[in-house]
Amino acid sequence: MKELKISELMNDYTDNELFLEGQQTVDAEKAIKAVTERISPKKKTKVKPLFKALIAVAAAAALTGAVSAAATAVHEVWVTYTVDGKAVSSEALKTYTFVDDGKIIDEDGNVLEIQEVDSDDIKILYDSDITADDYDVRIRYDGSLESNSEIDSDDIEIQYEGSLDDNVTYTVNGDVVSAEKTVTYNFENGKLVTEDGQELELKVVDEDSVTRVENEDGTVSIYIND
């Protein structure tokens, strides 16, 4: 016997009957403005060499590096970056949503399969069927940020909640290839501050709030448990 979830089957349904014209809905012109703003070209911003390492730390996996800052215990930075260091144009950005049962759902509503194995290596989410796409992921950072401190692979988890531009593109390992826009973060007095001087809200994250899953090709996915 085969078990089918009705809600998933209904993904293939188009409702032409229950939907009623004339109901109050979102203003189309507002939607146009919101969408076209997000697909418009970004201005290029130079990345200061000093902070390339920070971005690399924020974006890549299993690195060690020197970080200069005063410290607070836990920071969270949410970044969007490319797979394998290949930057893509912002128009090709793809968003993946992590849901709390360990699954990833892509923009089309397809569920991506996960292999479950524990691993301490923190690497970029990667699925062999997906190429050169951007992922919205959260990387959690746990440790103190002091001058010249080293961050090893176990510490590289940075989660971020703040008003980060959704269309920011980063490259892996700090190599800026053709990013449309990059954002630099500075650590000042224990706070994370953008290049515009905006302080980012910091939040403590429990170990239990993230789940790590190893994929078939050896990379590991990090999930936020909602």
Partner 1 sequence: MTEQELLKALQKGDTAALEELIRRYTAYVSSIIRRILGGRTEDCEELTSEVFLVAWNSRGKLQEGKIKGFLGSVARNKAFVRLRGLHEDLPLEEGVIFIEERSVEEAAEHTDAAILLEKALSQLEKPHRELFVRHYYYGQTVKEAAEEMQINLSTAKAWLCRGREKLKDILEKEGYTE
Q: Return left, alpha or beta for 85; rule: phi > 0 is left, psi -120 to 50 is alpha, else beta.
A: left
Q: Using the minimum distance from each CB to partner 1, give the nearer residue, 94 or 191.
A: 94
**Shortest distance in whole angstroms from residue 223 CB to partner 1:** 13
3-state secondary structure of 76: strand
Instruction: Say how far apart CA 57 and CA 59 lie, in whole Å.
Output: 6
Q: Which is nearer to partner 1, 100 or 165 (CB)?
A: 100
Please report, as ranges, the residues that interact with partner 1 according to CB under 8 A: 1-7, 9-21, 23, 25-28, 30-32, 34-36, 38-39, 91-95, 97, 99-100, 105, 107-109, 226
Closer of 49 and 109 to partner 1 (Cβ):
109
Q: In angstroms, give the least distance from the CB of 7 to partner 1.
A: 6
Residues 49-72 as b/e (b if ≥16 CB within 10 A, e otherwise) read eebbbbbbbbbbbebebebebebe
Using the minimum distance from each CB to partner 1, give the nearer residue, 219 or 221: 221
In the complex, the smallest distance separating the C-beta of residue 40 from partner 1, rounded to whole angstroms, is 9
**Segment (H or E) for 142:** strand 134-142
